[in-house]
Structure 1
Amino acid sequence: MPETTSEEKSSPTPPKKNGKGRSTRSRSTAKPSQTKATASKSSDKVSYKLLINADEPEECRIALLENGKVESFNVETVVQAQTKGNIYKGIITAIEPNLQAAFVDMGTGKNGFLAFGDIHPEYYCKDVGNAHWKSLNIQEVLLKGQEVLVEVVKEPTGNKGANITTYLSMPGRYVVLMPGSDSHGISRQISNEERRAKLREIVDSAKLPEEIGYIIRTASEDVTKTALMQDIRYQLNLWKEIKKKGQTEKAPALVYKEQDVVARFLRDHFTPDIEEILVDNQEVFDKINEFMELLPARQRKTKVRLHKGSKPIFNQFQVEEQIEQMYRPAVPLPSGGSIVINPTEALVAIDVNSGRTSKDKNFEKTIFLANMEAADEMARQLRLRDLGGLIVVDFIDMRDKKNIREVEKQVKNAMKKDKAKVDMSRISKFGLMQISRQRLGPPIQKGNYITCEHCQGSGMVKSVETTALALMRRIQTAAIKRQISGIHCDLPTKVAQYLLNHKRSEICEIEQRYKVDIIITGNPAMTPADGDVKFIRNS
């Protein structure tokens, strides 16, 4: 389950400050070098600020800033509301032995894809003993029309429906409960063995039912026993309600709807490291204060303020330009270079360009600097854009093997902030690094952008000349058959003008030779890809 994977891998929250982040006042007797060192430490302090833009009912946006730079961005629109985390009572409509999967009608318009490995044995229609699902045939243990309780683990994309599972997970602030599982785990980010043992002891004292597994989340590292038990009780009561609705509702039906984007972000990403939360909506402001009151006293240091300025909240903190940058292919680097991000059907290609750094006298040093900057920015852009699958990064070629190892190390460190599962290779002799990254949600453009009606998403349209010549060939081919008496062409204005100005003699020749009337009119309302050609047959 995704929640389990991400928690086991890394913390979903900003990294905690270390001692270097604290500013210290130097004594009057300190040496100049000591004073400089102290000032440097103070300037390295990391400041986190959370901005929530919810003043418009159609859209809610959340940006986490690290020293003014966007490190995390979430958006939810009315057009594209999230379904990941929703639990449905569905009906199996088709079983595909070749795919070893079933399709489930959840009442959402698109059938969900249920892989055999995501089907709990309790749904098998016959006893299979201790046999593993890989040794079974799906058509022998499932029935068409069978009802199942499923959770969405991956949003639908394009014509594909959502990926679903019968292994449910219910994330709370401190604990993820997993009905139907017997696995128990603790986030790897909690490294203190004594604390890990104490947390296990607390959860075990809750006496969870045997059929419910759990994952103790990173946020529980310094939480009290009371808060942890309260979270568990809430999740157990929620599971009872879900189970009851699952038994009484008529399939297909929505049994549980995941919380809104603000509640999800606070639950999964909030840490006391966030110094301030600014929000521009009174209702959301009240909701955040309610959340803060549920936290242990030592985690309530974060200030929550209602933004009342005339300037939009994201504009006031220079966030809009950073968000717009996320939708552009090229991202500038501080030293003058850039990275260019091109998602394709098979993979995501990222090219590192040196820019003006290549003109520097110390070529190797400046190339190394550009690659180090690219490593940081690339990791940030992968998180912000939520790019998944295979990612190939073409770094600028370096001769020094020590520099190559340093860039690899920089990529690895930059990726530690990522909540998604990430695997990466070393830089090859061709300067390429391969990265595999788990996508956490739908593409960020979905819900905000639509496919261009002119180019249909290709980014290019045919030139006027090419379009006109293609139409000429079509007209000539139809006229040769001698089965038509007229051709009426309603075309984009520029195409019509080109034909009438540059191809008039050819058109007249076709009319005379094949005895057809050709009428061409320009329509300014048509896009370059449009064009209506009607052939009038002989009576």
Structure 2
Amino acid sequence: MQQEKIQRTLVFSDSDQEVRVALLEGDELSEIFFEDMEADRNSGKIFSGRIENEVKSLEAFFVNIGMKKNGFLRFKDLVGLPNEYRKGDMLLVQVRKDGTNRKGPQLSMQINLPGRYVVYMPYGEGSIGISRRITDQDERDRIREIAEDVIYETEGLIFRTNCQGVDRETIEEEVLQLRNLMRDIVIKFNKTSKPDILYSEEDFVEYIVRERMDNKTVKIVVDSRNLYNKIQNILTEFEQKPALELYDRDSFNYKNIYEQLEDIFARKIPLKSGGTITIDKAEALTVIDVDSASNVKGKNVEETSFSTNKEAAYEIARQMRLRNLAGMIIIDFIDMNVPKHREKIINIITEESKKDKARVTIVGFTHLGLLEVTRKRTSAAIESLVFSPCPICHGTGRVAAPAVIYNRMIKDIEDSLSDLKDHEIKELIISVYHNLSGYVTPEVRKELETKNNIKINFEFNWNDPNSYNIRFKK
């Protein structure tokens, strides 16, 4: 399976309310973006912020940038030393990682300004980085020579994959544009005295074209004339241009994208060989289990296991990007006894991860045979954007057993009547979830009435299986 040679297609679908984008590798969906979800994304934005307090135990400042929660600025992400800053100081900061329901955004004073060909670092102190996807050594030497000529001592540059083959003059022009942009941001910062946003990247369509189009992108498909014209205008600024196609219906019908979207939400993903992978998420941990299931190909158990694991490795790398998984990822591959088979699996994950914009680290197999992987992302997992936690089970996927609720309810009834024995209570009205119908029978109700000398009515209209409601009628 030569995954490296697979060509990419960007598919834009323009509905009345938002633009959606799918990235295809060959015919397979590998990433998905929704405009209204990206609108809430703060990663990359630059703010003026005020230091609210210092937490030495965390080696960080909490910084007010005008959002609901203060941002978290680690000492190692400062420009200068921690003792140079005091509570109340105004800082120029950039959001490196979006916040969550529990945490504010992660901030840095080490500003990065992305262009089409380079990422400009005004405080980079001479650092030069070159995309790992540029493998030709002569090209890497050419790029490094340009970098050394164009940057000042205090600056840094990261050369993106798109800069491969681009002439010196074009690169120098973009560096100058980004340098001027940074100058304008600093001028705005010097004029402000309160937390506020100073810079936000271009609109959604421009952002996607810049961030996801590379030299393997052969086609862009759109389904509206307005979007076609807009992207056509954006592409005039690129030296290498993919074909632009206007689709005559909803472009998410292209290559069965709608059907493939189901993969994002499924817990169990079937493999073509008959095997499966199962994905379970916790707060900061994702566990992926590989199962051969109905796959019986191979001369022996080792060969069958290796064959399934290879296919699973490609799919797992795709799912990590598609779902935007992050944190620690533990993969339970089918047991393999041949060391070179394990090495091959690690190589597959490593190579596939080169397609990933997020930083992926392959830790290796544990002594229990589990592969440890970490993936660092800057924005929320797509699952958290599409779904909200269930108000009943709070995301656990479980509710209390009816017997547990029933026994608790009986105890509550008796305790309540004991507390109210001096009051003239003539009737109890108890609302319960319908799954208690097998417990709260007419016989049980009669027994409770006799025991407590009170009329009791049960109503099966409560909408929470974990609770009930007791009302008193005088």
With structure 2 as the length reference, what TM-score do the two structures score? 0.90
Check conservation: 1:175, 1:232, Cα contact below 8 A: yes
- Paired with 1:483 and 1:150, the residues of 2 have a C-alpha distance of 64
Matched residue type, 2:20: R
Superimposed CA distance per residue, residues 76-105 of structure 1 (whole angstroms, 9 cap, x where no aligned partner): 325862110011111112222222211111
Cα distance in 2, alignment partners of residues 263 and 368 from structure 1:
42
* Structure 1 counterpart of 2:377: 439
- In structure 1, the residue corresponding to 2:134 is in which secondary structure? coil
Residue 175 (structure 2) aligned to one of 232, 244, 255: 232
State the partner residue of 1:126: none
Number of the residue aligned with 1:72: 31
Give the stretch that moved more between structures: 408-417 or 97-106.
408-417
**Distance (whole Å) between structure 1 residues aligned to residue 341 and residue 229 of structure 2:** 51
Could you give the per-residue CA deviations for residues 242-277 of structure 1, whole angstroms, max 9, x where no partner exists? 112111234111101123332222212212322210
1:503 matched to 2:444? The reply is yes
Identical positions, percent: 30
Whether 1:523 and 2:467 are equivalent positions in the alignment is no
Displacement of 1:480 after TM fit? 3.1
Aligned match of 2:100 in 157, 160, 165?
157
**Once the two structures are superposed, what CA deviation does each residue of 1:345-387 show, in whole Å capped at 9, x if it has no partner?**
3421111111112597733322221111111111111121121
Q: What does 1:96-495 align with in structure 2 at a 5 Å threshold? A: 96-121=55-80, 133=81, 138=82, 140-187=83-130, 188-206=132-150, 208-296=151-239, 299-300=240-241, 302-309=242-249, 312-358=250-296, 362-483=300-421, 485=423, 486=425, 487-495=428-436
Asked if 1 retains the 8 angstrom alpha-carbon contact of 2:77 and 2:109, the reply is yes
Amino acid at match of 1:532: N
1:85 aligned residue (44, 48, 51): 44
> Among residues 490, 512, 533, which one is paired with 2:470 in the alignment?
533
Contact 1:92 1:143 in 2 (8 A): yes
Letter of the 1:216 counterpart:
F
How far 1:281 moved relative to its partner? 3.4
Query: Equivalent of 2:16, from 33, 56, 66?
Result: 56
2:346–2:362 Cα contact (<8 Å) kept:
no
After TM superposition, give the deviation of residue 295 of structure 1 in Å. 1.5
Instruction: Give, in whole Å, the separation in 2 of the partners of 1:530 and 1:60.
Output: 42
Partners of 1:182 and 1:360 in 2: how far apart?
Answer: 55
1:36-47 pair list within 5 angstroms: 46-47=6-7
How far 1:196 sits from its partner (Å)?
A: 3.5
Q: Which has the higher contact order (CA 8 A, sep 6+)?
A: 1
**Counterpart-to-counterpart distance in 2, 1:279 and 1:288:** 9
Q: CA deviation at 1:205?
A: 4.5
Query: 1:331 deviation in Å?
Result: 0.7
* Offset, 1:170: 0.3
* Displacement of 1:534: 4.1
CA contact (8 A) 2:133 2:354 kept: no
Runs of 5+ unmatched residues, structure 2? none
In 2: Cα distance, 1:15 partner to 1:407 partner: 14
The letter of the residue matching 1:162 is P
Match of 1:305, SS? Answer: strand
Separation in structure 2 between the aligned mates of residue 452 and residue 376 of structure 1, nearest angstrom? 32
Q: Secondary structure at the match of 2:245?
A: strand
Write the letter of the residue equivalent to 1:174: Y
**Conserved 8 A contact 1:280-1:307:** yes
Q: Is the 8 A contact 1:84 1:258 kept in 2?
A: no
Give the CA deviation at 1:235: 1.0
Q: CA RMSD in A?
A: 2.7
